[in-house]
Structure 1
Amino acid sequence: MDPHLLRTFVTVAGCGSFSGAARQLGYTQSAVSQHVAALEEDLGATLLHRRPVVPTEAGVRLLDHAGPILLRLDAARADVRRTAAEAAGRLIFGATPLALAYPMSLAVARLRRSMPGLDVTLRVAGRAAVVTGVAAGELDLGLVDGVAAPTDPLRLPDAGALTTVRVAEEPCGVFLPADHPLAARSGLRLGDLVEARWIDAPDVGAPLADLRAAAGVDGVRAAFRYEGTDVASLLTLVAAGHGLAILPMRTHPGVRAVPIVEPRLVHRIELLHGHLAGPAEALTRSVRSGA
């Protein structure tokens, strides 16, 4: 199966049109049609209905396999290219906004002292982007955060066999406006807040799906969605009364953080990596040892 043809098929299925896929891929529409036809001939099955352009049953089955296949190909390509980068002394790591609370900058500073001339790039992004970046080999390491029960793993996007290293953990609480009726409480039960107004900030605060799982209920509905990665902006929205959010227990002006007493939840930061070599391996050793 030609991966170029597979990528074209996935793009057409995602766009819902051959012309849209052609614009996205930089091909002619005729070339896109030929790619899909060649893949169908190779597999002996029709993969797309043409009017409208939607996957057939066989196409749906192929899409289930296509994501992991293309991701592994991207990872292999990046891994080979990274060999040259390691020789040149480069390190690219990604981090979610709240994961930056972990003093990774100190570990990187020590690494740069031991490897003079090391070229370091930091990319701040949402959880899914960091996880996918590490899985695809675009990032040497990833630092991600999330909310979970103390004994549970973080609920991260499925991106193949990545190794996780727990590096930090702290209590988390419900953040609400300072004048909120519940702000004076000494603790709150998550089950009592399922009908509250929540801010859905999947790349900064606790994803609402995680809260539903933790509370064991189908409630916890979003009243407002924030699609950004700036923590200060999220807190501004909380202070303005747009909804509640769950974050690590720290003091911030204009908002009040009330501990969650049931269920017990923690904010955790984990390091993600695939194949390790060069500066990435040295940095991971430093994090594992707590140095």
Structure 2
Amino acid sequence: MDPHLLTTFVTVARCGSFSAAAAELGYTQSAISQQVAALEADLGLPLLSRRPVEPTPAGRRLLEHAEPLLLRLRAARADVLRAAATPRHRIRLAATPLGFTSGLADRLARARATFPRLEVTVVTCGPERVAALVAEGDADLGLADGLAAPSDPLRPPDAGPMTIAGVGEEDVVVALPAGHPLAGRAALRLADLVDARWLATPLCPLPRLRALAGDGFPVALEHRGDDVRTVLALVAAGHGLTLLPASALPAPPLRGEAGAVGVPVGVPVGVPVSAPRLVHRVELLHGALPPGPAADLARALTG
């Protein structure tokens, strides 16, 4: 299959319109129609219905393969160009919203102090996008995070050859409102929380929890953003529970008598997870790095 035709097909399927795909790709609508027809002729199957414009069963099957294939092609091009590139002091670092936990922000600060010419731009996005940006050469380094058993790697992204190194692990806690009946527990098991009401948030995907502890974890509220403070505010207000790395929760301030610790309204409580044993893991992703600033920063973050 011609990658050019495949790109056109994916764009039409995503836009749901031949005219919108033409505007995005810079072709006429007639040229887009001809390219989709050529791909359908190559496979001998209709891939898109026309009214409405949506994938046929064969088209949906092709889409499952198309995105990874096109990503691998872009990754191969970026890898070749990266190997021949002149080292730059301007580094683009893609990171998930929780990628700078486990002391990674402090390591970055020390690296910038060690290499004063280093200019770093941080881009925040989801883990799949982090891998894609690194693979395609739009980011020099990436920080991805997720739940894992201690010392176990995260699932590697399907984005071509890539170096992946663990750079941090820390305990996971259940975030609850301060007045929740379980907030005073020393630890909690996930199996005891399958009937609790949970936030559906990209910061803690519920399918992952169900894979770890079985069915359950009903959704109380869906949150589609990636701002940690918003999630903490939703938890504190009683909209649902979630799992977070321990360092993502603010330390409760002292209140009352000297030495007494209180939890004010609006600040959630973190209770450690005792079973299954879980950690929040952060991994560094990068392609081939010739000697230079990017390689220096990678060593600083893994050290």
Cα displacement (A) at 1:99 = 1.7
Cα displacement (A) at 1:223 = 1.3
Match of 1:229 among 218, 226, 229: 226
2:243 matched to 1:243? no
Q: What is the CA–CA distance in structure 1 between the aligned matches of 2:212 and 2:45, rounded to whole Å?
A: 43
Q: What is the CA–CA distance in structure 2 between the aligned matches of 1:103 and 1:186, rounded to whole Å?
A: 24
Cα displacement (A) at 1:156 = 6.0
Q: 1:24 to 1:157 in 2, by over 3 A?
A: same
Q: 1:8 to 1:233 in 2, by over 3 A?
A: same
Q: 1:111 to 1:248 in 2, by over 3 A?
A: closer
Work out whether residues 79 and 287 of structure 2, in 8 Å CA contact, stay in contact via their aligned partners in 1.
no
Percent identity over the alignment is 58
Name the counterpart of 2:63.
63
Name the counterpart of 1:212.
210
Q: 1:168 to 1:260 in 2, by over 3 A?
A: same
Work out whether residues 127 and 156 of structure 1, in 8 Å CA contact, stay in contact via their aligned partners in 2.
no
Q: What is the CA–CA distance in structure 2 between the aligned matches of 1:154 and 1:286, rounded to whole Å?
A: 21
Cα displacement (A) at 1:196 = 0.8
Q: What is the CA–CA distance in structure 2 between the aligned matches of 1:49 and 1:212, rounded to whole Å?
A: 36
Name the counterpart of 1:128.
128
Name the counterpart of 1:172.
172
Question: Residue by residue, what CA displacement relative to the aligned partner does 1:75-131 show, whole Å, maximum 9, x if unpaired?
Answer: 234345546864343311111122212444454455556655333211122222212
Output aligned runs, 1:62-101, within 5 Å. 62-80=62-80, 82=82, 86-101=86-101
| Deviates most, 18-27 or 238-247 | 18-27
Question: Residue by residue, what CA displacement relative to the aligned partner does 1:155-183 show, whole Å, maximum 9, x if unpaired?
Answer: 46543443321111111110100001111
Output aligned runs, 1:147-166, within 5 Å. 147-155=147-155, 158-166=158-166
Stretches of structure 2 lacking an aligned partner (at least 5 in a row):
253-266
| Deviates most, 57-66 or 28-37 | 57-66
Equivalent pairs, count: 286
Cα displacement (A) at 1:48 = 2.5
Question: Residue by residue, what CA displacement relative to the aligned partner does 1:229-268 show, whole Å, maximum 9, x if unpaired?
Answer: 2211110110000100111224524211111111111111
Q: 1:57 to 1:137 in 2, by over 3 A?
A: same
Q: 1:140 to 1:77 in 2, by over 3 A?
A: same
Q: Secondary structure at 2:87's aligned position in 1? A: helix
Work out whether residues 68 and 160 of structure 1, in 8 Å CA contact, stay in contact via their aligned partners in 2.
no
Work out whether residues 148 and 210 of structure 1, in 8 Å CA contact, stay in contact via their aligned partners in 2.
no
2:287 matched to 1:274? yes
After TM superposition, where is structure 1 displaced by more than 6 Å over at least 4 residues in a row? none
RMSD: 2.5
* TM-score normalised according to structure 1 size: 0.86
| Deviates most, 81-90 or 171-180 | 81-90
* TM-score normalised according to structure 2 size: 0.83
Work out whether residues 47 and 56 of structure 1, in 8 Å CA contact, stay in contact via their aligned partners in 2.
yes
2:281 matched to 1:284? no
Work out whether residues 166 and 284 of structure 2, in 8 Å CA contact, stay in contact via their aligned partners in 1.
yes
Q: 1:49 to 1:127 in 2, by over 3 A?
A: same
Cα displacement (A) at 1:151 = 4.8
Of Structure 1 and Structure 2, the greater helix share is in 1
